[in-house]
Structure 1
Amino acid sequence: MPGQIIAQPNPLPDPSHLSNSICEYAVQLNTSNVLTESELCAIQKFRRAANYIAAAMIFLKDNILLERQLTFDDIKPRLLGHWGTCPGLILVYAHLNRIIKKTDFDSLLVVGPGHGAPAILASLWLEDSLSPFWEPYTRDRAGLTRLITKFSAPGGFPSHINAETPGSIHEGGELGYALSVAFGAVMDNPHLVVTCVVGDGEAETGPTAAAWHACKYIDPAESGAVLPIVHVNGFKISERTIYGCMDDKELIALFSGYGYVARIVSDLEHIDLDLAASMEWALAEISRIQRAARSGNPIVKPRWPVLILRTPKGWTCPGMMHGEFIEGSFHSHQVPLPQAKTSQEELQALQGWLQSYGPHELFATKGGRGVVEGAPTEELLSIVPDKKDKKLGCRKEAYAAFQPIRVPEWTHLGVQKGSQASCMKVVGTLLRDTIKENPTTFRIFSPDELVSNKLDAVFDVTGRNFQWDVASRAQGGRVIEILSEHTCQGMLQGYTLTGRTGLFPSYEAFLGIVHTMMVQYSKFTKMAHETDWRHDIGSVNYLETSTWARQEHNGFSHQNPSFIGAVLNLKPALARVYLPPDANCFLSTVAHCLRAKNYVNLMVGSKQPTPVWLSPEEANKHCVAGSSIWKFASVDDGVDPDVVLVGIGVEVTFEVIAAAALLRKIAPALRVRVINVTDLMILGPHGSHPHALSADDFDTLFTKDRNIIINYHGYPIEVKGLIFGRPAVDRITIEGYREEGTTTSPFDMMLCNHTSRYHVAAAAIRAGALFNTKISTEAHADAAYIMHMAAKDKEYIFAHGMDPEGTFDTPKFD
């Protein structure tokens, strides 16, 4: 916990005074004695050194310590990087080092500004947190040369923070998610304070706006804390930021409403004293809140600290160039001197800029006894934590914290074959038992849909963790429900990347909201998987329910299975999509996914009661195989078929089974094989995915030459993409969601999208007639009659407002 506090805040006024004097909520501190002279000097030199390295990384390919005048040949052929946010990030990093060393507290740093890698990499090199993970980046001339010259070049670090960056748990590409990731990381990590820098450009995003409320889901008795630092430098790529146009009073009012107490850090002349005092105050506030909760007397609606850091955009770069402001304007956002390779004027400005940091005072230009050439001076390193595991780049929570969960045996939770059961109701019992077995390493992140999705069995053993709700606070709930898919996703990411396991259940139509977040996360995990020093992590698990097939009551807006395609587009080695056909198969699949490591798992199913086709033992065998012939619905156990019917998904598989039963009556001579696919990835050509069937296994299951009718839950083009590369794909017909729907009946949804039993049966007759002469003579008439039955059912639905009686009774094959 934080040590002795030097600067004490003034007491806050009663909230009723807010309308009279909002500025009373601004924390005032005595900053004069917060730093010793040696600390202040070390911080300033650390900042100068890191600023120098960060700027050099953007520009230099030679002459890295300015041992001669710069020439055009010293400049990289392509200038890539973002300077504007770097000085502020370095300021924060230096002060975190100093206060970690002083108080011994545990922290991760989550960086929101997307392309702040030069600042972080420079700081990591200075504290020697690169070489333990990347051997060539030693803290000497050779390592510094490589860091500077290879940045944003082939074989070097990219311009954004990613999984190759030690200490990172957040992909710095798409903006808006740093804050929610930080809150997820501190859940069930009571020792940890995650410092999260939120850029004022990022702060304009909807995901960040919602994530400010995440503090209301942190129980300080069981979890750590987030220290947000909002970096207000005023500009984006070419426009002012919203926060940059807000005065202190407006910012204080905003964050007071969010539930924070704000400290404005803006005294540029004494910025180090200001920020040092502010950090000590913030950690003292965090400690006070946590002590109260952990002593059994929690503060109701604690007001967590937030720092608002105001610094100029591109601080310390050239002030003007070509008659335009650079420092303090959007011109410093990326490369402040973009023509340094060809313009003598800009080259000279770069020389002066880099020289202003005094690199010869900060790095040893010559080696000698006890001196490592290129190494930073001991004085600037005096603020770096002595203990390796305390350094921001070496925290094990960021790369080696995986705690496998104990997934209970599920077969005793299975339901009787031949009955009807809600997949989600049954899965809820497994999640209930998983929570009991893993009280501090498993959480459910749900956008206010847990009960609607019939997973409420978990509430037998836990509650919600909404600290502002009098019924939930201080109860240790394992369920986070906030009506923001972005916040749920971000918290799930932070929780998973720091070693735990989570589940994200959602309405099918709204998982697409986090499509790009999931993709960014998968990029991080792909790079982590290819980085040998990062350890395993739990899989990210999505449970997609309330699907289009049973969203007939909410209408067209709630009908969208596109998230399946988003997962299919990921790196095959790390992506899994499952469509279990019944409750027992769902139990097997969820148990498997909760145990799995390093994947993005998507499970698609229904919350409404549907038939249980397989016993627990049969379901487990079926799920291990990924697909199997369902002999009970096939003719002669599926031997020597005329046509193959395939169901992929709960409701569409029901329609396949119903079609098989209908065909027994209308075309009894037709030999039908019925297959269910639960693991979507088996369909791809061998080698395209780890689960893909070999050519022989595919032919054994689906036959070599018979026509295949696939009834698929998602968009047909997804299956077409999977099977591309298999031989003779022209014999495969695929039906699925056609983007047709409205407020109607369940069976009408099947009719609208051509996934009904009638469409399957008619297609089967036409396909089977090509191989069975007993069928061919009546094929046209039988198919026409079946589609006439479809039309009559649709007339009934429109006339009566409901499906014909018995539509969803379990088909009989006597």
Structure 2
Amino acid sequence: MNDKTDQFEMMDRYFRAANYVSVGQIYLMDNPLLREPLRGEHVKPRLLGHWGTTPGLNFIYVHLNRLIKEGDLDVLYICGPGHGGPAMVANTWLEGSYSEIYPDIGRNAEGMKKLFKQFSFPGGVPSHVAPETPGSIHEGGELGYALVHAFGAAFDNPDLLVACVVGDGEAETGPLAAAWHSNKFLNPRIDGAVLPILHLNGYKIANPTLLARMDDDELRNLFAGYGYDPFFVEGSDAMTMHGLMAATLDEVMGRIRDIQADARSDEASATRPRWPMIILRSPKGWTGPKEVDGEKVEDFWRSHQVPVSNARGDAAHRKILEDWLRSYRPEELFDAEGCLLPEIAALAPEGDKRMGALPHANGGLLKKELLLPDWKSFALDLPKPGGRIAEATRLMGAYLRDVISLNDHAKNFRLMGPDETTSNRLDAVFEVTDRVWMEKIEPYDVHLAREGRVMEVLSEHLCQGWLEGYLLTGRHGLFSCYEAFIHIVDSMVNQHAKWLKTSAELSWRKPIASLNYLLTSHVWRQDHNGFSHQDPGFADFVANKKADTVRLYFPPDANTLLWITDHCLRTWNRINVITAGKQPAPQWLTADEAEKHCKAGAGIWDWASTCPVGEEPDLVMACAGDVPTMETLAAVDLVRTALPDLKIRVVNVVDLMTLQSHSEHPHGFTDERFDALFTKDRPVIFAYHGYPYLIHRLTYRRTNHDNFHVHGFREEGTTTTPFDMAVMNQIDRFHLALAALRRLPQFAERSAHFAATLERKLEEHSAYVSEHGEDMPEIRDWFWPYGTAAKAGD
């Protein structure tokens, strides 16, 4: 035998060991090494897990181990077939990283027994790849997002190789199809490499997969069109496949090294490289039972989950299972104590080079704090509340510009967005950076460069996935998006929230930077795009997540937006959603007032109230969101003019979760604090940015909940004027004032004429916008009239 043959035979023993441990996890709760005949009580009563994809994942893992050892590489393994949990747990246990994190699961027969029993068992570990799985940054439920996470991890990680296994079922999803284009954003000079391994085992749950039924020529053309150089590894004989895979990986790594060396030399090419990828064809359920009950299993969809379904209660099934397990010849793999034989164990890398121990897969270990500017240096000076007009997100853009400048040396902050950085008024960042663009750049293009901190592509899935991969490997960022279209990534946010929730319960998982959103071009200023762009429901979706994970912010002006942005960039293990308008709007609070207000989360605006401090009001006018705040203040202006002796309290809510009970959310107010703002028995007219139901849901336990009358988006919209949008949804000043009057029976006689005036104003508005196509001058020119008058042009 030559050295290569010896090496491949040893690798095959490792492969068999991984397969044995994988099958054992799915089936066994005792007798882990088959030291006695298999009996029914050795088999779990409930068989849960997925075998079909597992052997292919084991095969890839052992070959990446060889690559790491021979090249001294840092390799992050991203397991797209998330139900391949048995493989990832098996391999991290074999290499020792699992037992270091979970000492109770030792690397011997007793540890193997515990490892097997805990898998997909009450009180144990999930059947899919999860935060509990060492070496993972990709949740098993995230079908379609493996490749985009891989690229996010590779950005600004020049020494990292991300091996991303893409299952052929996953490859049918839209997000995965778009993710192949991530290679147009990977810069070999400053970024790491992504090696996609498309694993075609032929079938998904109960059907063939599309890509697996395509022939090699069609696949080659498809991926060449995406910009890749595909290499094929195909077969079912293990020893032949070991030779093919090893040779292919060597050639692929040679290509990657050449690409990076060329890009990092002084004569670096300006063209986008053609990155290699591997297309691996192996049978589904490889090395498992060929048939069960006379029906095809291996290389067919019946191997997807549990090929032998009744091994506990059926002797014939149990015989198939035992023969299957013994086919791996465990006596050649493990010693008398149940430990992996030293010569086999030696194939795994050591220390942090093991894929289960790689620091990049536990990004909090690598996270460095962002250097942040003084947010107050960007704040607006105000002569009085409402005394200036400004675009809130434009000031935020100036702040982010300095965040990028301060952290340029660290290359650990990126701004993601679907072609909307300029549209959302964040374009001050282009004073110090550009958009990443590895395609051809024309002389007339603006702000496109091979390197930059801004990443734009018209796919919310890619922006979300890139940022998640970036954060999970220890960096920071922000995702700016039109409010209506952030729903596209609901399922991705759902999985990230679950990841954060579970990670926070694992002491070995270190905190990562928060996932920060700026939602702008929002519902109340999407009048020009119409109904399709009018949806504030992302807040409702996020509010369903674990309370310690989510935060919802509605800054009413630029200075509060600055404070909140600065705050969110300092947090970790959170999902922060900031909703703020980009259009010119009145500014209400000075920097000091904004800081105090945002730290409180909600508070009384005494300067807007007519109720003396310390007294109970007749009416509470509350608001959350920039347009609702303006309309509330305009309504207060109307009401206090008509009823000057009415005691009105104005409450602004900037942190929506303060409304929830303190027992339900860490930011929630105590009942005493809540009642001090909203009273125990007075009517509350609440103008809210989104769907009214969320306010009721958050406050239903409060003493005064029955007196809350919430105005928000009522699913009414079209292409119309800004104020008409508010009128259509009854969040405008006239409707708010009318709602207040209806809840003040003690003022009914005095307010009847005023109410009729408000009704006429609504009629005038409707007629005016229909004729002129813009809002009435008294709406367009309104300003807060109390105190020093606003200067024209401010």
**What's the TM-score bracket when you normalise by the shorter of the two chains?**
over 0.9
State the match for 2:785 in structure 1.
Answer: 812
2:715 counterpart (712, 734, 739): 739
Instruction: Decide whether the 8 Å contact of 2:555 with 2:578 is kept in 1.
Output: yes
In 2, the alpha carbon distance for the partners of 1:810 and 1:626 equals: 25
Shift of 1:210: 0.5
d(CA) in 2 for partners of 1:780, 1:190: 71
Query: 2:356: which partner in 1?
Result: 393
1:68 aligns with 2:26: no
1:643 and 2:624 are equivalent in the alignment: no
Q: What is residue 435 of structure 1 aligned with on the other side?
A: 404
- Please name the residue that 1:58 is paired with: 26
Q: Which residue does 1:794 correspond to in 2?
A: 766
Q: Which runs of 5+ in 1 are unaligned?
A: 1-31, 367-372
Q: C-alpha displacement at 1:299, in angstroms?
A: 5.2
The question of 1:294 aligning with 2:260 is answered: no
The alpha carbon displacement at 1:813 in A equals 2.4
State whether residues 167 and 393 of structure 1, in contact with CA within 8 Å, keep that contact through their aligned partners in structure 2. Answer: yes
**1:312 and 2:283 matched:** yes
The structural deviation recorded for 1:62 is 1.3
Paired residues for 1:234-273 under 5 Å: 234-269=202-237, 270-273=240-243
Residue 560 of structure 1: aligned partner:
535
TM-fit CA distance, 1:494: 0.5
Displacement after TM superposition at 1:637 (Å): 5.0
Contact 1:232/1:244 (<8 A) preserved: yes
In the alignment, is residue 352 of structure 1 matched against residue 323 of structure 2? yes
Cα deviations by residue, 1:130-156 (Å, 9 ceiling, x for unpaired): 011111111111211111112100222
TM-score (structure 1 length as normaliser): 0.93
Alignment-derived partner of residue 85 in structure 2: 117
Task: Tell me how far 1:474 sits from its aligned partner.
Answer: 5.7
Structure 1 residue 221: deviation in Å? Answer: 1.0
Q: Which of the numbers 589, 598, 621 marks the counterpart of 2:573?
A: 598
2:244 is aligned with 1:274: yes
- Residue 542 of structure 1 is matched in structure 2 by 517
Tell me, in whole angstroms, the C-alpha distance in 1 between the residues paired with 2:480 and 2:397: 11
Equivalent in the alignment of 1:611 = 586
Distance 1:784 1:329 in 2: 74
Q: CA deviation at 1:782?
A: 2.4
Match of 1:268, SS state, is coil
Q: Does 1:489 align with 2:454?
A: no
Q: Over residues 740-769 of structure 1, what are the superposed CA-to-partner deviations in whole Å (9 max), with x where a residue is unaligned?
A: 0000110000000010001111111222x2
Deviation larger for 662-671 or 430-439 = 662-671
Are residue 377 (structure 1) and residue 345 (structure 2) matched? no
SS at match of 1:306: strand
Q: Secondary structure, in 3 states, of the residue corresponding to 2:161?
A: strand
Q: Say which of 413, 416, 436 aligns to 2:381.
A: 416
Partner Cα distance (2:417, 2:440) in 1 = 17
CA distance in 1, matches of 2:611, 2:236: 83
1:784, distance to aligned residue in structure 2 (A): 3.2
Offset at residue 811 of structure 1 (A): 2.4
- Cα distance in structure 2, aligned partners of 1:465 and 1:637: 55
Residue in 2 that maps onto 1:4:
none
| 2:426 counterpart residue number | 455
1:185 aligns with 2:153: yes
Amino acid of the structure 2 residue aligned with 1:95: H
Contact kept, 8 Å, 1:267 with 1:274, in 2: the verdict is no
Report the Cα offset of residue 798 of structure 1: 1.2
Query: Which amino acid is 1:244 matched to?
Result: A
Q: 1:376-411 CA distances to partner (integer Å, 9 max, x unpaired)?
A: 1122222111x3110000011111221111111111
SS for the counterpart of 1:228 is: strand
Matched, 1:175 2:143: yes
Q: Deviations over 1:592-632 (max 9, x none)?
A: 00111110000001010111101111111111111111122
- 8 A Cα contact 2:625 2:688, kept in partner: yes
Deviation at 1:44, TM superposition (A): 0.1
| Aligned equivalent of 2:133 | 165
Question: Which residue number in structure 2 is paired with residue 571 of structure 1?
Answer: 546
Q: Establish whether residue 217 from structure 1 lines up as the match of residue 193 from structure 2.
A: no
State how far apart, in whole Å, the 2-side matches of 1:806 and 1:164 are. 60
CA distance in 2, matches of 1:637, 1:358: 84
User: Where does residue 782 of structure 1 map in the other structure?
Assistant: 754
Looking at structure 1, the residues matched to 550 and 343 of structure 2 have their Cα atoms a distance apart, in angstroms, of 48
1:90 paired to 2:65: no
- Preserved CA contact (<8 Å) 1:762 1:784: no
Which of 683, 690, 694 does residue 659 from structure 2 map onto?
683
Looking at structure 2, the residues matched to 383 and 648 of structure 1 have their Cα atoms a distance apart, in angstroms, of 59
1:427, distance to aligned residue in structure 2 (A)? 0.5
- Residues 464-475 of structure 1: matches in 2 within 5 Å? 464-470=435-441, 475=450
Structure 2 Cα separation of the partners of residues 444 and 422 of structure 1: 19
The verdict on how the C-alpha distance between 1:637 and 1:592 changes in structure 2, with shifts beyond 3 A counting, is farther
**TM-score of the superposition, structure 2-length normalised?**
0.95
Distance 1:520 1:756 in 2: 37
Equivalent pair of 2:527/2:720 in contact (CA under 8 Å): yes
1:444 equivalenced with 2:415 (yes/no): yes
Letter in 1 for 2:84: G
Pick from 191, 203, 214: which aligns with 2:171? 203
User: Once superposed, which parts of structure 1, at least 4 consecutive aligned residues long, lie more than 4 Å away?
Assistant: 471-474, 636-639
Q: Secondary structure at the match of 2:97?
A: coil
SS at match of 2:380: coil
**2:449, 2:348 → 1: CA distance?**
36
Structure 1 residue 473 displacement after superposition: 6.9
The code of the aligned residue for 1:433 comes to D
Structure 2 SS opposite 1:502: strand
Deviation at 1:74, TM superposition (A): 1.4
Q: Decide which of 532, 541, 558 is 1:583's aligned counterpart.
A: 558
Using a 3 Å threshold, how does the CA distance of structure 1 residues 469 and 689 change in structure 2: closer, same or farther? farther
Q: Is the 8 A contact 1:75 1:341 kept in 2?
A: yes
Contact preservation (8 Å) 1:147, 1:156 = no
AA paired with 1:759? H
Shift of the alpha carbon at 1:779? 3.1
Contact 1:737 1:753 in 2 (8 A): yes
Instruction: Output the amino acid matched with 1:292.
Output: D
Q: How does 1:489-528 map to 2 (within 5 A)?
A: 489-528=464-503
Structure 1 position 720 matched with structure 2 position 696? yes
- For residues 137-182 of structure 1, give each alpha carbon's deviation from its aligned partner in whole angstroms, at most 9, with x where no partner exists: 1111121111111210022221011111111111111300010001
Residue 792 of structure 2 is matched in structure 1 by none
Distance 1:682 1:617, change over 3 A: same
Instruction: Quote the offset at 1:787 in angstroms.
Output: 2.3
Corresponding residue number in structure 2 for 1:79: 47
Q: Tell which deviates more after alignment, 660-669 or 672-681.
A: 660-669
Matched, 1:533 2:508: yes
Q: Distance in 1 between matches of 2:776 and 2:607?
A: 25
Q: Quick one: which amino acid aligns to residue 122 of structure 2?
A: P
Q: Give the whole-Å Cα distance in 2 for the aligned partners of 1:636 and 1:49.
A: 76
Aligned partners of 2:318 and 2:604: how far apart in 1? 71
Q: In structure 2, what residue type is equivalent to 1:397?
A: H
Partner of 1:13: none
Instruction: Compute the displacement of 1:780 (Å).
Output: 3.6
Percent of paired sites with the same residue:
46
Tell me the distance in 2 between the aligned counterparts of 1:652 and 1:601. 21
Q: Quick check: 1:221–1:474 contact (8 Å CA) kept in 2?
A: no
Q: What's the RMSD between the two structures over aligned residues?
A: 1.4
